[in-house]
Amino acid sequence: MTNILCIGAGYVGGPTMAVIAKHCPEHRVVVVDINAAKIAAWNSDRLPIYEPGLEEVVRLARGRNLVFSTEINRNIAEADIIFVSVNTPTKTFGQGAGKAADLQYWEKTARQILENSTTPKVVVEKSTLPVRTAQAMERILDCNNKSLHFDVVSNPEFLAEGTAIKDMENPDRVLIGGRGTPSGQKAVQAIVDIYAHWVPHERIITTNLWSSELSKLAANAFLAQRISSINAMSALCEKTEADITEVARAIGTDSRIGPRFLRASVGFGGSCFKKDILNLVYLCEYYGLYEAAAYWEQVVKMNEYQEARFVSNMVSAMFNTVAGKRIALFGAAFKANTSDIRESPALAVCRTLLEERAQVVITDPYALDNARDDLGDAAEQVVFEPDPYAAAEDAHAVAVLTEWPQFAELDYEAIYKSMVKPAFIFDGRNILDHEKLYALGFNVYAVGKPPLTNFSN
Ligand code: NAD
Ligand code: UGA
C-alpha cells in the first residue's frame, strides 16, 4: 500500500484524487485542506463543487480508501507521495503584480512538508506553476538537517471543469516530468504506476521537469489563443455579414486546424486561462523576451475587448440606454456544467450593465450562490432567480452568457410573450435557434452574425 496525500481539496484536488482512489483500491488516498468547511462538505452529501459524475466516484471510494481531512501535519508525516494542488493565483502586490504567479501558498506548503517529514517522499507539483518552480521547491526541501531526500515531480492537470471526471477517466495524455537521476526516474515511475491502473501506457508522457511545467502553461495559452482568434474573426463577421459559425466550420474541417475550441463567444472565463497566460507573459518578460510576451498578452487583451464589445453592442442595440431596464442574464457560471464563476464573462457583463444602471436579473441552474458571493456589494442591486421564465418576465432583454444546454430548450414563445416589447435577445454563446426567435418577434443579436431585427426602418 502506498500512502498518497493531496494538499488542496479544490476543483483539481478533490476530483483527481477521487478518481485515483477509485482505480487504486490498494492505495490510501487522503485529501487535506486548510478550509474546514470545504472538508466538511467533501465528507457530506453536498459536495463543495458541482461536477457531473463526481458524486458517484466519491461515494464509491470515500470511507474505503479515500479520506478528506483537515489534519495536514499528521497526514504529511504518514505520506509516501504528496500531490500539491493548492491555488496559485496572480500576484496582486510588489514585483510582477497583476501578472506573475503568487507562490506564497506554494512555498508555505513546501516548508510544511519539510517540517513534518521523517521519511523520504515524492512531492508532486499538481498545481500550475511557472517553469523552474521545481528547482525552488527542491532547494527548500533539500535544506534540511534530517538527511531526508525528496524527489520533486511535475504532473500538471489538464482536466476542464464540467468534464473533470470524464477527462480524468479518459485523458488525452498524462504528463509526468522529473529529474534524470536514478532517484528522479524512480519517482517518475511511481507516478506512472498510479496512472497505469487505468490510462494506457502510450498516453503517459514522461519528460524532463521543465518541459512538463512549461507544457501546462503552453497548453492553456494555445487553447485560449484559439478562442481569441475566433472571437477576433467574430468582430469582423459582424461588420461584413460573414457568419462566424460558417467560418469556424469552413476552417475547422482543415485537419491541420481541427474543429474544436472554435466557438465564438462573449469571451473565455475560468480561473486559469487568464492567470496562466499572464504568468507566461511575466516569464517571457523576466527572460527579456518582450516580443513573445506581447504576443501572448494580446490573447488576454482580445478577450477583454470581446467582453466589452458584447455589452457595448447590447447598449447600442437597445437605443443607447439600458438605465432602468430589466435585463435577464441567462447564466452566471463561466461555462456549462459547473457552478464555478471565477473570471466568468457573465459577471463581467453584469457589472458593466449595473454601471449602466440596468436592473439585472441572473438565472443559473447551479451557480447563483457563487455569483452572489463574487459580486459582493453589487449583489444587492441584482435579483438572483433560479427560474429562467421568471427572470425573463417583464424584461427588455435576455442575454445568454453560459452555454447551459437547458437554455436552448426553453419555450421562447412563452418568454417572448412575457417580455417588454420590442424584445431583445443577445446570444453570447450562439446556442439558440436564431431564425426561430426572429420569427417569434425577437430582435436577435448573436456573436459574429448579422443581427436579425424586426424593425421596419
Ligand atoms: P481551488 O482554489 O479550487 O483549490 C485550492 C485549495 O487549496 C483550496 O481549497 C485552498 O483552501 C487550499 N489551500 C491553499 N493553501 C493551502 C495550504 N497551505 N494547505 C492546505 N490547503 C491549502 O483551486 P483549483 O481550481 O483546484 O486549482 C488548483 C491548481 O490547479 C491551480 O494551480 C490551478 O491553476 C490548477 N488547475 C486548475 C484547473 C481547474 O479546472 N480548476 C485545471 C487544471 C489545473
Ligand atoms: C481549461 C482547459 O481546457 C483545461 O485543459 C485546463 O486544465 C484548465 O483550463 C485549467 O488549467 O484550469 P476550463 O477553464 O475548465 O479548462 O474550461 P474550458 O472548457 O477550457 O473553457 C474555458 C472558457 O472558454 C469557458 O468560458 C468556455 O465557455 C470558453 N470557450 C471554450 C469558448 O468561449 N469557446 C470555445 O470554443 C471553447
End-to-end, the C-alpha distance of the chain in Å comes to: 75
Strands of the sheet containing 443-446, edge to edge, are: 382-384, 359-363, 326-330, 397-400, 424-427, 443-446
What is residue 152's predicted lDDT score, i.e. its pLDDT? 98
Residue with cell 498516453: 203
pLDDT of res. 457: 83
pLDDT 10s digits, 34-81: 999 999 999 999 999 989 999 999 999 999 999 999 999 999 999 999
Task: Name the closest-CA residue to atom 4, ligand 1.
Answer: 10
Span 313-340, pLDDT tens digits = 999 999 999 999 999 999 999 999 999 9
Nearest CA, atom 4, ligand 2: 160
Give the residue, out of 167, 172, 271, with the most ligand 1 atoms within 8 A of its beta carbon, to mutate for a pocket test: 271
Which of 155, 213, 223, 343 to probe ligand 2 with, by most ligand atoms within 8 A of CB?
Answer: 223
Distance 83 CA to ligand 1 centre (A): 11
Three-state secondary structure of 71-103: CHHHHHHHCCEEEECCCCCECCCCCCCCCCECC
For residue 404, the tally of other CB atoms under 10 A from its CB is 25
Cβ(161) – ligand 2 distance below 6 Å: yes
Nearest residue (by CA) to ligand 2, atom 5, is: 158
Contact present, 126 and 84 (Cβ < 8 Å): yes
How far apart are the CA of 32 and the centre of ligand 2, in A? 26
CA atoms within 13 A on the CB side of 434: 22
User: Which ligand ends up closest to the CA of 333?
Assistant: 2
User: How far, in Å, CA of 274 to CA of 284, rounded?
Assistant: 15
| Residue 167's pLDDT band (cuts 50, 70, 90) | very high
Q: Is the dihedral of CA 198, 201, 207, 211 positive or negative?
A: negative
Residue 219 is which amino acid?
Answer: A
Ligand 1: residue whose CA is nearest its atom 20: 33
- Alpha carbon distance 389, 227 (integer Å): 31
b/e per residue 278-316 (b: at least 16 CB within 10 A): bbbbbbbbeeeeeeebeebbbbbebbebbbebbbebbbe
3-state percent helix, strand, coil for the chain, nearest multiple of 5: 45, 15, 40
Q: Is the pLDDT of residue 452 over 90?
A: yes
Q: Which of these is catalytic: 24, 237, 272, 350? A: 272
C-alpha–C-alpha distance, residues 122 and 184, integer Å: 9
d(CA 58, CA 54): 6
Question: Residue 272 catalytic?
Answer: yes
User: Mean pLDDT across the stretch 218-230?
Assistant: 98
Cβ-contact 365, 393 below 8 angstroms: no
- Quote the CA–CA distance of 343 and 127 in Å, as a whole number: 18
- Identify the residues whose C-beta falls under 6 Å from ligand 1: 7-13, 32-35, 38, 72, 85-88, 105, 108-109, 127-128, 157, 159, 161, 271-272
pLDDT score of 146: 83
As a whole number of angstroms, the distance between CA 417 and CA 392 comes to: 10
Ligand 2 pocket, residue 310 CB under 6 Å? no
User: DSSP characters for 234-271?
Assistant: HHHHHHHT--HHHHHHHHHTSTTT-STT----S---SS
> Closest ligand 2 atom to the C-alpha of 261?
36
Specify the residue for cell string 500550475.
128
Tell me the per-residue pLDDT of 225-244, one tens digit each, with 9 for 90 and over. Answer: 999 999 999 999 999 999 99
Tell me the C-alpha to C-alpha distance, in Å, between residue 234 and each of 138, 226, 371.
46, 12, 28
Residue 143 clears pLDDT 90, i.e. is over it: no
Which grid coordinates belong to 381?
442591486
Q: Which residues contact 217 (CB under 8 A, 6 or more apart)?
A: 128, 130, 131, 276, 277, 279, 280, 283
**Rounded (5°) CA angle 28-32-34:** 170
Give the residue whose CA is nearest to atom 2 of ligand 2.
160
Q: Which tens digit of pLDDT belongs to each residue from 177-214?
A: 999 999 999 999 999 999 999 999 999 999 999 999 99
Grid coordinates belonging to 114: 519539510
Residues 107 and 125: beta-carbon distance below 8 Å = no
190 lines ligand 2 (CB under 6 A): no
pLDDT for position 246: 98
Q: CB of 404 closer than 6 A to ligand 2?
A: no
Ligand closest in space to the Cα of 220: 2
Kind and range of the H or E run holding 23: helix 13-23
Grid cell, residue 444, equals 436577435
- What confidence tens digit (pLDDT) does each residue in 259-273 have? 999 999 999 999 999
Mean pLDDT of 371-378: 98
Mutation to probe ligand 2, out of 167, 265, 402 (largest number of atoms < 8 A from CB): 265
- CA pair distance 213, 128, nearest whole angstrom: 7
What amino acid is encoded at 349 in this protein?
V
Grid cell digits, residue 356:
449602466
pLDDT digits (tens, 9 = 90+) for 265-313: 999 999 999 999 999 999 999 999 999 999 999 999 999 999 999 999 9
Sheet containing 204-208, strands listed edge to edge, beginning at the edge strand earlier in sequence: 66-69, 28-32, 3-7, 81-84, 121-125, 150-154, 174-178, 204-208
Contact call for residues 345 and 265 (beta carbons, < 8 A) = yes
Ligand nearest to the CA of 72: 1
Which protein residue has the closest C-alpha to ligand 1 atom 44?
157
